[in-house]
Structure 1
Amino acid sequence: MSTEAMNIRSRYADAILNLLVAAAISLVVNFSYLLLLAVDQRYERPQGSPFGQSEEIAGTGTLAVSADGHGYVRYGDDAGVDSVYISASRVRRFELKDGDRLVVAATPPTLPGGHYALADIRERNGQRVEYSMVYNRPRESVELALQLLYYFLLSFILLTILTAGIDRRNASLRCFVRRCCWCLVAAAALYFVAPVHRWRTGQIIAHFMSEHSLDYVLLLRCSFAVVVSILYGRIFFLMLQRQAVEVENERLKTENLSTRYNMLVNQINPHFFFNSLNSLSMLVREREERKALVYIDQLSYTFRYILQNGQNTTSTLAEELRFAEAYGYLFKIRYADKLFFDVEIDRSLADRTLPSLTLQPLIDNAVKHNMITRSHPFRISIRTEGEQLVVSNPKIPRPERAPSTGIGLENLRSRWLLITGQPIEVVETDERFTVRLPLQKPAVPKPSQP
């Protein structure tokens, strides 16, 4: 599957997940509304009352409000009804008070011995009222559907702002804060178009058309949707950051394995092997027996070190210097009296660690890309400065420059970053090429358990 197809599939998956989360937020926000609706239907529109029909109660009753907030309209014996129940929410909504004299319409009870439930208030304390207009409002199911739809769209828009089009490599805290600010702006705009009902007329209108600019219940619900959306967005950002770290680690691990393989293949290449044999053959022909024996020892050590440490992660500075000495000796025999190594190492840093086979590509690059002649002897400097290993050489370009891909130095950068977590510093001027390598402190061995 191509990268573009995978990105499209990922976007669709994120959109579907946002839809599901938005639906969940909408249900949670309206959960209290569902409960209140169920309670109101239980007490105010009893099941079994045909079509919710009501009848006007003859006579005037007196309202008695209990300590819990609900009330009963009490009647005399001539009314045919003992009392009519009024829920606490309607007592508050109509601003009824204990002792009010009311003429009402009520729905009959569904069970024997039950109370009539208030359906409409016709008169209050001898005055005609317009409370009946409240009941021209849409059915509760329509209002509930509008509430669910509004909070679903609100949540989905906020989640889309927080999660859409995010590059895993740029999922930073600054990006998250910026998207949160846009969410707050969007939520503030959508707050004023929330569906509310005008309780005196029963019409469902946008909030900005209502008499009150600040609706605490609506503000609380919108705030809940915003907070949950932002929390989900933060979790989404953290997951993206974690995925980015995992992808980068996998890339570096793969690159490290490829680098190790390439090192083993390239370090022992035919040119190096044949050049080494040619140098050895030259020493034998010139009857330099002592040098030939030393050369064989150094060549053997070089191959053994490459094969053994190609599988290791780190080596000590002392081990790398010993390898550089052996490896450099092979080049010094090839470039007799033309190649020199200046080694100045603080011996107190001998136990510091660095990635294995670090010096080999640096020595190779220096020899490969520079002119080495008797009239232009070449010196490679290996020294310590503070807690850094510094490898440098003058730049004396060959008349015909050797082809270079830059892979060796780039692989060295990647290996250092993967193994040590620190970058190397490459300083290149017209006169010198310098590489600074931060040495690592040796790992403290864990105490053995008894």
Structure 2
Amino acid sequence: MKLHAGSNILLNLLVAVAVSLVVNFSYLLLLLVDQKNDPAPPPPPEEVLRKAERLQCGALHVSPDGHGYLLYSGGDSIYVPMQRIRRLGLRDGDSLVAEVSVTHVPLAHPVMGKVLRRNGAEFDYGSLFKRPAESVVLTLQLIYYVLISFILLSILTPVRFRYSRRRFIVRCVWCLVAAAGLYFVALVTEWRTGRLVFNFMTPRMLDYVLLLKCSFAVVVSMLYGWVYVLIMQQQAVAMENEQLKNEYLTTRYNMLVGQINPHFFFNSLNSLSMLVREKHHDKALTYIDQLSYTFRYIIQNGQNTLIPLGEELDFIQAYGYLFKIRYADKLFFDVDVPEEFRTWLLPALSLQPLVGNAVKHNAITTVRPLHIAIRVRDGYLEVANPKAPKLETEPSTGIGLENLRSRVHLITGREIVVVDTDTEFIVRVPLQNPAL
């Protein structure tokens, strides 16, 4: 199957989508599971306080210097650093439920840790740091790996490409270069803020998970590229074999047609020379006209593969006239072909060797004239003549009938049928219905 530019792009895109789905399969599966299993609502602050002594609920008091204290029942307080107040956007008077970080330093004040609830609502760290939704992260990752896989596949599978191991290795090197460049512009999640940034903008550009996924995409693309090369090489060999086969059939057909023309030409010259020697000038002129028509027919149609039966019958009338001049009133053609079959097709010059063989191998006398019957039976053009062997038989090379058999097989893929009895010789040539 020959791949064109459009189908090649579509196929590469489908493979790239498959690679992206495989790379992000685990992330996609976790996202689906999280969406299916809704998390249970958080327990009320009172229950949390009863279960965990390190949690405290109180009101935030921010001093003028920016530091704050979380005041809770009993007059006790928890220190809240100024940096945490600014980072979390806390305000004076906020009601907070937060973890308490107890230090082991004597007389040290406990410090507020992670904030769980603010003014009765669950504290959202994701909105605080502008963390994108999980579905957005998944969509961007899918698009990224589709893009990187499609670029690599496009490098490895060009439509017009002379395939060889050396060229394929060069293409693989270009794939590695392209993958390295795409690795640095990949979107990654910053671990401190949860924001999506380019990989080259992070302090540590060596992301092992990203590197593993990109390596998987590169390996799969190279494997697919190698399979693509093997398929294209096999297709090229098949196309070359088909081209050689067509050239062989065309050459063989031309050789077979070329063998017909000299045989017919020499026989025609012998008949014409007989008329000239006997000084039948009018018949000689008519003979030349009919001979000109027959050779014009051969030149115009000798290279055609198929021709309507009606044209072949018109030709055989002119061709038979040449024999009638030679045999006077001793040769007859009985043509019985219905009008609807005149448009059916058969190889050009099918009747000429059959008529020529009938005349060549049978005695034609006034007492025993030769009748050549041409009729259609069961989808075959049938040419039949009674057998009247000559006293001195002419040597038969079998070239005429064998050429016809070969041409019919090469053109139609079917075989002629030869029926040779003691009294009759019949050859059936397959016809093709042009409507089918």
TM bracket (short chain): 0.3 to 0.5
TM-score (norm 1): 0.41
TM-score (norm 2): 0.42
